Amino acid sequence: MRNHAIRKLTDIAEKDERIMLVCADLGYNVLNIFEEKFPERYVNVGIAEQNMTAVATGLALEGNIVFTYSIGNFPTLRCMEQIRNDVCYHNANVKILSVGGGFAYGDLGMSHHATEDIAMMRALPAMRVYVPADPIEAAACIEEVYEKEGPAFVRMAKGGEPFLHNSRAIENISDLQPMADAGSDINILACGSVVSEGIRLKEMLDAHGYSVGVYSVPCIKPAAEEIIKNLARSCRLLVTMEEHTIIGGLGGMVAEVISEIHGIHAALFRVGLRDTYTGVVGSQVFLRDCYGLSAKSCYQSILNRMEKLD
């Protein structure tokens, strides 16, 4: 996913000399394609993410379109004051690329588990928030944040994720992206690489006789409110899935949207981290199972919820 995103950024930079890339002393095997083509537009600030954000803001206020790049929590949670006061308050044209969202760096422990970043970035005024599910969506997100003026955050997976889209063309990355036709019983809304778990969950629920749809939600803010409301009116249960706390992320966004519906709408079941720190260490797959984020670990809970709705 990250390789496709940087290749797309490099393609854009060939056409627009305002594009700059600032990193914090990592990602060389990923970023070298950009650095080799545009050495004068590539800045490595060293292991200093807060400084990276401040430098990017200064460059953006001079008329550039600046992308910052680091892993996990480091370009976001570590830099919240600089993002809030420098980037967002000045509506600077800074685009934050974070690689390894959720449990991608699971074996490095809680400090590297990016599980609150969507909520924190979503709370910032003027900040657009994207969580692509596969390389196709990641490239489309890079294209959109380039075209949209102002701050943006793109939270990507670590790398090696499968292609989930049959077509390489996405008309509007701000819309929900259907992975399966809408369901009359259940619709699953997922973001990031956990969309693959949503697809597996659909297969399990299909076998139980339910009509189930699956959607990727690559744009968390601004929300595709009318699409979400229409889905909520057309089924019995909405399920959100995210490798993130349920507070303030995708599940929180969907809860806010459907709370404004007047009349009957679907119930909501949020799959994600409850109000807890992730003190367990292990692979991404292991941690998804451990914290109830995988298809098999939340399947029975969803069946129980549907039985209560019958």
Query: pTM for this one?
Result: 0.96
Q: Is the model's pLDDT at 158 over the cut of 80?
A: yes
Pairing, β 237-245 against β 152-156: unpaired
Question: Looking at domain 2-156, which of 1.20.870.10, 3.40.50.1100, 3.40.50.970, 3.20.20.70 is its CATH number?
Answer: 3.40.50.970
Q: Whats the size of the chain, residue-wise?
A: 310
pLDDT range class, residue 160, cuts 50, 70, 90: confident
Q: Quick one: pLDDT at residue 167? A: 65
User: Which regions of the chain carry the CATH code 3.40.50.970?
Assistant: 2-156
| Cα dihedral 275, 99, 189, 241 sign | negative
Q: Quick one: pLDDT at residue 168? A: 66
Q: Sheet containing 212-216: give its strands across.
A: 177-180, 212-216, 186-190, 237-245, 267-273
Q: Quick one: pLDDT at residue 161? A: 85
Q: Is the model's pLDDT at 265 over the cut of 70?
A: yes
User: Which regions of the chain carry the CATH code 3.40.50.920?
Assistant: 177-309
Q: Is the model's pLDDT at 257 over the cut of 80?
A: yes
- Report whether 23 contacts 69 (CB < 8 A): yes
Interval 142-160 mean pLDDT: 95
pLDDT range class, residue 166, cuts 50, 70, 90: confident
Spatial distance between the Cα atoms of 140 and 135, rounded to a whole number of angstroms = 9
Q: Is the model's pLDDT at 288 over the cut of 80?
A: yes
208: which residues sit within 8 A by CB, 6+ positions away? 303
CATH numeric code, 177-309: 3.40.50.920
Pick the closest to residue 302 from 235, 218, 257, 233 (CA basis).
235
Q: Is the model's pLDDT at 269 over the cut of 80?
A: yes
At 68-123, the pLDDT tens digits run 999 999 999 999 999 999 999 999 999 999 999 999 999 999 999 999 999 999 99
